[in-house]
Amino acid sequence: MIKGQLSSKDWELLSSYMDGELNPRDKARVEARLSTQPEFQEALDGLRRTKAILRKTPIRKVPRNFTLRAADVQPVKTPRWIPTMQWSSAAVALVAVFLFASQLVPGFRGLATTASEKAVDSEMGAPE
């Protein structure tokens, strides 16, 4: 494969040569390489064939206009309740973390259990 042998810089150089965009010094260098390196000449011939094939393809009309209008780029207005929902979801997440942590940390559970046990004991009477 020719493309594997040439660098991307060589391909750009050949493309610029075909388009007539090189200065005289670079043009002379490319022509020297074309006369000494057959793979370079073969790559140029391939580019010329590709360009000829592309010229022969029919030009098709674009199905619609792709130009953006100012109305198409208007910023989207967010509803008023979105910021409220963001804060409330953060508060719910914080409460969930607190409840989860209270189940893991023995001190939190012990305080709640002790208070509820005292309430039950006072209703039933002190154990004898």
What is the rounded end-to-end Cα distance, in angstroms, of the chain?
A: 98
The Cα 89–Cα 83 span in angstroms is 10
The reported pLDDT for the residue numbered 19 is 92
User: Model pTM?
Assistant: 0.46
38-56 helix and 8-19 helix, angle to the nearest 10 degrees: 60
For the segment 104-121, the average pLDDT, to the nearest whole number, is 63
Domain-wise residue ranges, the chain = 2-56, 87-123
The reported pLDDT for the residue numbered 118 is 66
Q: What is the pLDDT of residues 18-54, one digit of tens each?
A: 999 999 999 999 999 999 999 999 999 999 999 999 9
